[in-house]
Amino acid sequence: MKKGKIVNRETWASKMGFILAGAGSAIGLGNIWRFPTTAGQNGGAAFIFIYLFSVIFICLSVLIAELALGRNTKKNPVGAYNSISPHSAWKYFGILGVLTGWGIASFYSVVAGWTLAYIFKTATGFFSSMTSEQISSSFTEFVSNPLSSISLHLIFMSLTMAILFGGVKKGIEKWSKILMPVLLVILFLLVLRSVLLPDSKEGFQFLFKPDWSAITGRSVLAAVGQAFFSLSLGMGTMIVYGSYLSKNENLISSAAWVASLDTIIALMAGLAIFPALFAFGLEPTIGAGLIFVVLPNIFNEMFLGTLFGSGFFILLGIAALTSMISIVEVPVAYFIDEFKWSRKKSVKVAGIGAFCAGIPAALSLGALDGLSNFISIEGRNYGFLDFMNLIFGQYSLMIGSVGVALFTGWKWGKDKIIQEITNGYENFSYGSLYNVFIKFIAPFSLLFLLIYLILNPNAFA
C-alpha cells in the first residue's frame, strides 16, 4: 500500500471532522449579517458577481495555501512563517494576522451580542404587532443604548473565552454537526417565505440583474474583501486550523467543501433578505441593522414565526460563536507558542484586549456622537464599528492574503507546497495550474487592486 492511502472509512471520518470545523469557522455573521449588508450597500448583483469570481479565482488558492502551511508547520501564523523562513521579515505578515484577529474579534462580538438580544425579543413576540417602521426604529433605539450594547458584548466575549479556556476541538465539532444542518433548514424556510411574498420581484432583480454602473472601485474592494472575510482568510485562522489537520486528508477537496458550503449559505442569506426587504419597502443601503430589521418582518408573516425566529437567532448566535472562537484562537495560539504563556493567560489577554477594543464599536451606533459619525466618505457618515470592519475586516485581510500567497508561491515554492498537498492524495494533476494561481494570479490581482485604488481613490466612481 502506498503512502497516503489509508482505510476509507477512517479518512472520511476525519475529513468530515475538519470540514465541519472549517465550515464552523467560515460560516457565521460574515454570511448572514455582513454579506447582505455589504451587498446592499454596493449595488447587489454586480457585487455578488465579483464576490463569486473572487472566491473561485483568488480565495480558493489562498485557502489551500493557508491549510498547507498550517499542516506542514503545525504552528500559529507567526511560527509558520518563522519555521519555513527563520529570521526573515515574512513574520510581520503573521504579526499583522494576530493584530487583525484582535481587531475583528472586537466588533464581531458587538454584533454577535445583538443576536443574543434578538433571541429573546423574537421568542417573546416583541415584534409581533409592530409595523416595518416600528421594527426599524426599535433597532435604532436598541443599539444606541450604551448599557445593553456593552453588556451583550461582554456576555458574548465571556462565552468565547469560556470555550477557549477548555481548548477548541472536541465539543465544537460535535455541536456543529447537529446545529449547522438545522440552521440550513431554517434558512431554507426563510428563503421560501421571502421569495413567496408579494412584491418580491424587485429583490430578485437586485440580486440577479447586475447594474455595472453601480460598481465603483470601493465596491470592488468590498466584494473581494467580503470573500476573504467569509472564508476566514488572510489572518491565519486557516493556518491554525490546518495545523490540526491530519496528513492523510485531501486538502483540495476539504478546501472545496468549506468554500462551497460557505458560499451557498451566503447566497441563501441574500435570497432570504432581499426579496423581503423590497416587499416591506425598506432600503438596501441601511447598513449594520439590515438583517435585524428585515428578518423580524419575515417572522411576522410566517407560520410559527416566533418559533422559527427565535430558533434562527439561537443558531446564528452559535454560528457566530464557532467563528469567533477561530478568530480569537489566532492570538491565543500566538501567545502560547511564541511567549510560552499558559492557555489560560493567553485567552485572558486576548479576550479582555478584544473586549476593550470593542467598547468604542459598541458605542458607535448612536450612543456617542463622535463615534457614531467617525469618518465621512463621499458624504456618507460611518461609525467606528464600520471603520474597524473596513480596516481589519477588509484591508488587513487582503494585505495578509497577499503575504500568504507571495510566501507560498515564491519563498516556500512549488515543489514543497505540492508535496504538502499531495500527502493524502496522489493523483493531483493540477500542480502547475495551482502554482500559477498562488504565484501570480492571487497575489498580483490583489496587489494591483490595492495599489490601483490607492493611486486612484475615485476609480470607477
**Min separation Cβ 274 and ligand TRP, Å:** 19
SS3 438: helix
Among 17, 22, 24, 30, binds ligand TRP (CB under 6 A): 30
CB 289 within 8 A of CB 139: yes
The count of chain residues that interact with ligand TRP, using the rule CB under 6 A, is 17
Measured CA to CA, the distance from residue 148 to residue 138 in angstroms comes to: 13
**Using the rule CB under 6 A, is 372 a contact of ligand TRP?**
no
For ligand TRP, give the closer residue by CB, 31 or 194: 31
**Min separation Cβ 97 and ligand TRP, Å:** 9
**Min separation Cβ 342 and ligand TRP, Å:** 23
| 301-340 binders of ligand TRP (CB under 6 A) | 323, 326-327
All three cell numbers of 118:
434578538
Per DSSP, what are the bridge partners of residue 380? 377
DSSP letter, residue 233: -
**Using the rule CB under 6 A, is 226 a contact of ligand TRP?**
no
For ligand TRP, give the closer residue by CB, 64 or 279: 64
Q: Which residue is nearest to ligand TRP (CB)?
A: 30
**Using the rule CB under 6 A, is 24 a contact of ligand TRP?**
no
For ligand TRP, give the closer residue by CB, 160 or 300: 160
Measured CA to CA, the distance from residue 423 to residue 425 in angstroms comes to: 6
Q: Label the pairing between strands 375-377 and 380-382.
A: antiparallel
**Using the rule CB under 6 A, is 397 a contact of ligand TRP?**
yes
**Min separation Cβ 165 and ligand TRP, Å:** 19
Binding-site string for ligand TRP from residue 70 to residue 109, where x marks contact by CB under 6 A and - marks none: ----------------------------------x-----
Angle formed by the axes of helices 132-143 and 290-300, to 10°? 140
**Using the rule CB under 6 A, is 25 a contact of ligand TRP?**
yes
**Min separation Cβ 231 and ligand TRP, Å:** 6
**Using the rule CB under 6 A, is 258 a contact of ligand TRP?**
no
Q: Residue type at 345?
A: K
Among 61, 230, 250, 372, binds ligand TRP (CB under 6 A): 230
Measured CA to CA, the distance from residue 291 to residue 277 in angstroms comes to: 9
CB 243 within 8 A of CB 334: no
For ligand TRP, give the closer residue by CB, 108 or 127: 108
Q: Which helix (H) or strand (E) holds 137?
A: helix 132-143
Q: Residue type at 365?
A: L
For ligand TRP, give the closer residue by CB, 77 or 443: 77
Measured CA to CA, the distance from residue 202 to residue 377 in angstroms comes to: 28
Backbone φ and ψ of 76, nearest 5°: -70, 170
DSSP 3-state helix, strand, coil percentages of the chain (rounded to 5)? 75, 0, 20
**Using the rule CB under 6 A, is 242 a contact of ligand TRP?**
no
SS3 260: helix
- CA 371 and chain centroid, separation: 24
CB 225 within 8 A of CB 59: no
For ligand TRP, give the closer residue by CB, 70 or 234: 234
Q: Which residues bind ligand TRP (CB under 6 A)?
A: 25-26, 28-31, 104, 229-230, 232, 234-235, 237, 323, 326-327, 397
